[in-house]
Structure 1
Amino acid sequence: MDRLSGMSKAILHDILAKLPDKDAAKTIVLSKTWRDTWYSFPNLSVRSEYFFTEDDVPQENSHSFSKLDNLIDYVTKRLVRLRDQGLAIKEFKLNLVDLVDPTPVSHHLDQWIQMASESGVKVLELYLSADAGVWYDLPLCVMDAKSLTKLELGEGIRIGKEFLKHSMKLSSVKMLSLSHVLFAHQGVVEHLISRCPLTEHLTVDHCSVYNHLSTEGRLESLFLHGLQKLMEVDLAGIQEVHIDSKNLEKLLYEPLNFKAPFKLNFDSCRNLRCLQLLHLQSATIVDKWFLELFSKYPFLESLKLSDCSMSERINISSAQLKVLELMFCSNLKEVNIDAPNLLSFDYGGADKPVISFMRSSDQLEVKAITIVELQQLCSSLRVFIRNIPQKILASLSLFIVPSFFIFPPFHDYDFPYLPELQVSSTPPSIKHLDVRVHSDPNHEALYGPLMNHLLSTCFPKTVSFVYGGRYSFIEFFYDMLMGSKKRECHCSSSDTECWWHALKIVKISCSFITNQNIDFKAMLDAWPMSSDAKTTFTLEL
């Protein structure tokens, strides 16, 4: 007997709980001890993708029906075995999104949920498919599962009006997630939530409700009150939200219609620490909004705004703020930040505003993602980073747009001209430069000037390329660093040493290769046909 098999069943269960579902199931073949451990394992997690492929549609061929029978037989036997042994079912997770129509399994779903509820289930997660417009009606027995601490319901599930008449409280539920669920009535949503009075984490994501014409429409409003333990709320696809919870610490909100007016009232949540707002385009966020925000919520430490309409100039002042994100917010031309305890600032967008820091922490790191046109690379990039102190620009991600590819093909002499750089002062040194650029073996004439501009402007310690398909650009850059390509030095007329003369050691790592000692040619031979293959060059200067 191996040493693992000799451990207590509780320890073996803990090991299984830490393994991916598929790997945990495979332990049954190891030994009789592991087989017995698996059959007494109180966590049951089933995904239909393990039983079906994309071509297996249960309604269309008998072969798929046999696979569906296998799934039903497997789940039923596991649950019955646990019940007959008098063992509690701690977790029951069922993901059947590959089943286009849940009708063939609906009766079994009722039985499974009933058995899990009667066996003291603590975690119940259920996801079906709504592709065929057929919904599974959640049974009322869920409301009787007093042991539940987490209830997660996904698409393909309908909650009927009968839940309005059910008064049972799920007093142990701390995490409640409702994603793409269909409710038979607007009142069912808030009634269900109110039946979970001790909820700490709540998610309501793009749920639907029948209107007076019995047709499906989006959930338009949500009023949350009486949830005194509520700490985190994630709301998406709702146009009007009112939250009354003094203990709320984290709020994420995204309206359904980005361009339509929205209402978001969380004035009573004075202990808010993290706020994330997405796709607020119907109203412009101005200086006054920031001033009132930090005044009203004195403990706010994290503010993240994505795809929001902003005024051209904003001023952010907070002694408490530690995390700030402004991602692809339109109209911005100037950002002034006075946050002495700020630790992280992420900016992303096609526009390159002037970003200034009045006061900043020694530990602050700035990460910027921007789109740069090749023809404006030299001027726009330097202007963008010149006001950011050298010590805090941690990483810069560039999406370089070669505008000449947008139009009909040009000849070589029509390529944008990149003038040589004269280095008059030491450029800022950043930790990491991430480059995503269109690469074409017919345009190698641009590669050298392009990378010279980037390295002279940023002086990065590492350079990464996320690149798939042909690897001509990365091969060129390797030859450039190794000196195989003609050197294009720009420090001959300056007292400041250029990046090339400062370069001492080059190391290469790849996301698809575990052996980091592999040579460059072998790396190219192993290159996958994937768009997310990542190569990193570490430059020691």
Structure 2
Amino acid sequence: MEKRVFRGDRISELPVHIIHHILYSTDLDVKEAARICILSKRWYFCWTSRPNLIFDLVQGCKYMPLENYLKLVDQSLRSHVQQNLHLEQLSLTYRDHRQFDSLHVDTWIALAFKLNVRVLEIYASFLRSYSLPHVIYDAKNLTTLRLRNCKFEFDISTTHIRFDCLEDLYLHCVRISDAQLQRIIDRSPFIRNLSLVDCPGIDKLQVSGPVHLENLIVQLCKFDSVIVQAPNLQCFKYVEHHAVRPCKIDILDGYNTLRTLVLCGARITDQQFRDVFYKFPNISELDLTSCLQLKNIEIQSEKLKKFTLVRMESLEKVTIQAPNLLEFDFEDDLVLFSSMDPFSSMDPSSLERSQLNFLSLRTHFGSVDSRWYTNLHHFVQKFNYSKGLILAIFCRKVLSILFVPLIYAIIC
């Protein structure tokens, strides 16, 4: 008997939740989605019932007509409400459109909360901050809140706030006061990740009480002080550029849980760094970038596995006793480095990966003092027994890059 071969649309036979996942993972724009929807009624149903509604006013490199954007978002949300569909994520992005009325966003957020949305993302126009509606403060099912160019306007003494399930809070260019942020943290008992990027309105950041907080990122916020009391903190990242005034950083808890410490542009002294590293003995990943007051770094740790040093202009000496160090990244100006060797006591024999980047602002390598080559060769010899090394030298004018992935024995 001959075997019958059926040539049909097997993809359309997949379960609805798998098709939803395909549609979500492929990051389709509106035109591509429209093409898919004409494949069959099933695909059309899957597209209109998808649990992840992501809308961007910019499609590719072009602005979608505002009227079309408003209609698309409004119809999609109202259709979900009418059919009582599950809504996992609502993401709204609208850039620099002067005719955009924020009342539309108020309505969409209210509709999303009727559907118990779990992930809410609002990326507002940089031309005008979006004032968050009061309905957002009673989002008892929300797990993730990502905001850009928004502002919190609520009275901490009268506004009822309830973030019973909130785990992730990301604020970028969001205006919020010290007291407002602390109130949100107090009303978010399960918050795990908190990220603040360029948030005006806060002078003294105090994060106190969140027992589940694991990751805290503070970037470009120009705070006077950062005081953290979180017993299960695992990662702390502080990034500041061209700080006008020093920021006092004090982590009062998490002594045994902190694993990752990133300090970029922090005005921290040698003694302050020693105190911090002594207080957190389980740090496994350390990143120091442009900490210009650091001159002598002393590290003694059996837990440290990754160490990064970038643009430490005042650095004179690095003393490292880390027998389990596996990764080392270093970046410096070629001329400055040629005048000294801050790693005279370093033992890199345990390293599995090293990357050394040197930048030359001179017009070409020939204009650099010839001592740079001698000192560089001496420095690279330290990695003779490490398993792998990437050496990169960047010259500005020629725009040439000497990029040599190697086992050191190849160039000895």
Band the TM-score falls in, shorter-chain normalisation? 0.7 to 0.9
- What is the distance in 1 between the residues matched to 2:15 and 2:193? 34
Q: Does 1:138 align with 2:132?
A: yes
Q: Does 1:104 align with 2:100?
A: yes
Q: In the TM superposition, what is the alpha-carbon distance from 1:364 to its structure 2 partner?
A: 2.9
Q: How many residues align?
A: 387
- What is the distance in 2 between the residues matched to 1:228 and 1:322? 26
- What is the distance in 2 between the residues matched to 1:226 and 1:42? 34
Match of 1:158 among 145, 148, 151: 151
SS of the residue corresponding to residue 14 of structure 1 reads: helix
Match of 1:204 among 191, 196, 200: 196
The amino acid of 1:206's aligned partner reads: D
- What is the distance in 1 between the residues matched to 2:241 and 2:212? 27
Q: Does 1:13 align with 2:20?
A: yes
Aligned partner of 2:318 in structure 1 is: 335
Match of 2:109 among 104, 110, 113: 113
Change (3 A) 1:263 1:354: closer
Please tell me whether the aligned partners of residues 325 and 350 of structure 2 are also in contact (alpha carbons under 8 angstroms): no
Change (3 A) 1:326 1:227: same
Q: How does 1:58-97 map to 2 (within 5 A)?
A: 67-97=65-95
- What is the distance in 2 between the residues matched to 1:163 and 1:138? 15
Aligned partner of 2:180 in structure 1 is: 188
Aligned partner of 1:511 in structure 2 is: none
Q: How does 1:278-297 map to 2 (within 5 A)?
A: 278-280=264-266, 282-283=267-268, 285-286=269-270, 288-297=271-280
Q: How does 1:65-464 map to 2 (within 5 A)?
A: 67-99=65-97, 101=98, 104-131=100-127, 134-155=128-149, 157-162=150-155, 164-183=157-176, 185-209=177-201, 219-236=202-219, 237=221, 238-255=223-240, 258-270=243-255, 271-280=257-266, 282-283=267-268, 285-286=269-270, 288-350=271-333, 351-352=336-337, 353-356=341-344, 358-360=346-348, 362-372=350-360, 373=362, 374-375=365-366, 376=368, 378-387=370-379, 388-392=382-386, 394-401=389-396, 437-438=398-399, 461=406
Q: In the TM superposition, what is the alpha-carbon distance from 1:113 to its structure 2 partner?
A: 0.2
SS of the residue corresponding to residue 369 of structure 1 reads: strand
- What is the distance in 1 between the residues matched to 2:309 and 2:34? 44
SS of the residue corresponding to residue 251 of structure 1 reads: strand
- What is the distance in 2 between the residues matched to 1:71 and 1:28? 18
Alpha-carbon RMSD: 2.7
- Higher normalized contact order (CA 8 Å, seq sep 6+, divided by chain length): 2
Please tell me whether the aligned partners of residues 348 and 383 of structure 2 are also in contact (alpha carbons under 8 angstroms): no
- What is the distance in 2 between the residues matched to 1:383 and 1:32? 70
SS of the residue corresponding to residue 190 of structure 2 reads: coil
SS of the residue corresponding to residue 9 of structure 2 reads: coil
Q: Report the TM-score, using the length of structure 2 for normalisation.
A: 0.86
- What is the distance in 1 between the residues matched to 2:375 and 2:358? 13
- What is the distance in 1 between the residues matched to 2:167 and 2:356? 37
Q: In the TM superposition, what is the alpha-carbon distance from 1:356 to its structure 2 partner?
A: 4.0
- What is the distance in 2 between the residues matched to 1:34 and 1:389? 57
Q: Where do 5+ consecutive residues of structure 1 fail to align? A: 57-63, 210-218, 403-436, 440-450, 463-495, 503-541
Change (3 A) 1:24 1:297: farther
Aligned partner of 1:27 in structure 2 is: 36
- What is the distance in 1 between the residues matched to 2:51 and 2:373? 56
Please tell me whether the aligned partners of residues 250 and 273 of structure 1 are also in contact (alpha carbons under 8 angstroms): yes
- What is the distance in 2 between the residues matched to 1:205 and 1:94? 19
Please tell me whether the aligned partners of residues 206 and 256 of structure 1 are also in contact (alpha carbons under 8 angstroms): no
Q: Where do 5+ consecutive residues of structure 2 fail to align? A: 1-7
Please tell me whether the aligned partners of residues 138 and 160 of structure 2 are also in contact (alpha carbons under 8 angstroms): no
Q: In the TM superposition, what is the alpha-carbon distance from 1:16 to its structure 2 partner?
A: 1.7
Change (3 A) 1:180 1:8: same
Change (3 A) 1:255 1:362: closer
Change (3 A) 1:2 1:323: same
Q: In the TM superposition, what is the alpha-carbon distance from 1:86 to its structure 2 partner?
A: 1.0
Q: In the TM superposition, what is the alpha-carbon distance from 1:151 to its structure 2 partner?
A: 0.6
Please tell me whether the aligned partners of residues 308 and 329 of structure 2 are also in contact (alpha carbons under 8 angstroms): yes
Q: In the TM superposition, what is the alpha-carbon distance from 1:89 to its structure 2 partner?
A: 1.0
Q: Report the TM-score, using the length of structure 1 for normalisation.
A: 0.66
Point out the structure with max Rg over C-alpha.
1
Aligned partner of 2:49 in structure 1 is: 40
Q: In the TM superposition, what is the alpha-carbon distance from 1:378 to its structure 2 partner?
A: 5.0
Please tell me whether the aligned partners of residues 226 and 245 of structure 1 are also in contact (alpha carbons under 8 angstroms): yes
